[in-house]
Amino acid sequence: MPSGKTVWPRLARPIMLVPALALLALAALAGCQGSPLALNPQSPQAGSISTLAWTLFFIALPVFLLVEALLLFTVLRFRNRRGAEEPPQIEGNRRVEILWTAAPGVVLLIVLWVTFQTMAFVLESPPESMQVQVIGHRYWWEVKYPSGNFTTANEIHVPVGQTVRVDLTSIDVIHSFWVPELSGKVDMIPGHQNHAVFRALNVGTYRGQCAEYCGVDHAYMGFLVFADSPTTFAAWVQNEQQPAAQPTTAAARQGQELFASSACIGCHTVVGTPARGVIGPDLTHVGSRTTIGANLLPNTPANVARWIADPQQVKPGNAMPNLHLRSDVVDKLAAYLESLK
């Protein structure tokens, strides 16, 4: 290897940084396309987190500018000049030292105070809050509505304008509940209960994501929060409380028999049938969900069939094994599950 010395003029290297940084910023922006943004709050709780972020930014900005200005000034003003003599060597200046210790201390105390204020606000749940329980599994979300006495998965419905308290825990490893537009990240810890609170201000669908590395499918552990109008929400609850619908087509009926007589029932629950498994998502109303695989694929008959045929190919590493079913069996199972509206 030749020596690392280049022939570029000294200024060329810092200048090369400019296009590099521009490219990086562009890549970061492209990556954000269509992603939920914590700086686009849709609840008072997310709003207060976003305000905190901006507050910290505007506290940090003058500090940064001051420090960089002093640095540049010192570097330029006291640089080595040709023929200059060595300046007098001095050490210590009590006044300056006290100042530069106390000033950051004061700034950090202010930061601590605004952070505590925000934390207290975002975790405050008034007694009239609606309660939802979310339990993290590798790699999906179990969702329970204690007041309605039903269970679903990966899609949380809430009425718009209502404060919701989400009690959070995990069945296996630490996960983290995060809906950037509605609530901050809250750890889901096995054997321990935390909670998140939010009040959705607008009807809409908000994307959530596991925010604590929990294994191979961590990145595919997504979910959706639907903020519904009160009537839509009431209709949804009403439907969820019903036992599973009876299939009406021949294929779906055969699928129901196949389901009831195979390994599926060891892991999945379908209320109103012998299926009582709790390893995987509750499938009582799986046909009415918009996605499968923890917000991985749109819920279509083709995707459900693809999933049942080989879940490991669709979401490698997830807890549902490839059961090596014949394709006609797969199609009947899919027809059955899609009929469970």
Contacts with ligand HEC, residue ranges (CB under 6 A): 139-140, 153-154, 217, 259, 262-264, 266-268, 279-281, 286, 289, 292-294, 304, 307-308, 315, 318-321, 323, 333, 337
User: In the complex with ligand HEC, which residue's Cβ is closer, 197 or 305?
Assistant: 305
For residues 160-179, which are near Cu ion according to CB under 5 A?
175
User: In the complex with ligand HEC, which residue's Cβ is closer, 74 or 312?
Assistant: 312
- Nearest-approach distance from CB 271 to ligand HEC, in angstroms: 15
* Strand duo 140-145 + 222-228: pairing: unpaired
Q: Which does 281 bind (CB under 5 to 8 A by kind): ligand HEC, Cu ion, none?
A: ligand HEC
Sole residue written with tokens 């006609």: 328
Q: Which does 140 bind (CB under 5 to 8 A by kind): Cu ion, ligand HEC, none?
A: ligand HEC
The Cβ-side half-sphere exposure at 254, using a 13 Å CA radius, reads: 8
User: In the complex with ligand HEC, which residue's Cβ is closer, 203 or 329?
Assistant: 329
Q: Which does 199 bind (CB under 5 to 8 A by kind): Cu ion, ligand HEC, none?
A: none
- Phi and psi (nearest 5°) for 114? -65, -30
Helix, strand, coil percentages, rounded to 5, for the chain:
40, 20, 40
Tokens of 335: 């027809």
Q: Enter the DSSP assignment of 79.
A: P
Classify the C-alpha dihedral 145-150-154-157 as positive or negative.
Answer: negative
Sole residue written with tokens 């459900």: 304
Q: Enter the DSSP assignment of 318.
A: -
Tell me: does residue 286 bind Cu ion (CB under 5 A). no
User: In the complex with ligand HEC, which residue's Cβ is closer, 53 or 278?
Assistant: 278
From its phi and psi, is residue 160 left (phi > 0), alpha (psi between -120 and 50) or beta? beta
Site string for Cu ion, 213-252 (x = CB under 5 A): -x------x-------------------------------
- Nearest-approach distance from CB 322 to ligand HEC, in angstroms: 10
Q: Interface with Cu ion by CB under 5 A: which range of 39-47, 60-68, 120-128, 210-218?
A: 210-218
Q: Per-residue b/e over 213-226, b at no fewer than 16 CB within 10 Å? A: ebeebbebbbbbbb
Q: Which does 214 bind (CB under 5 to 8 A by kind): Cu ion, ligand HEC, none?
A: Cu ion
- Phi and psi (nearest 5°) for 318? -75, 170
In the complex, the residues that contact Cu ion under the rule CB under 5 A are 175, 210, 214, 221
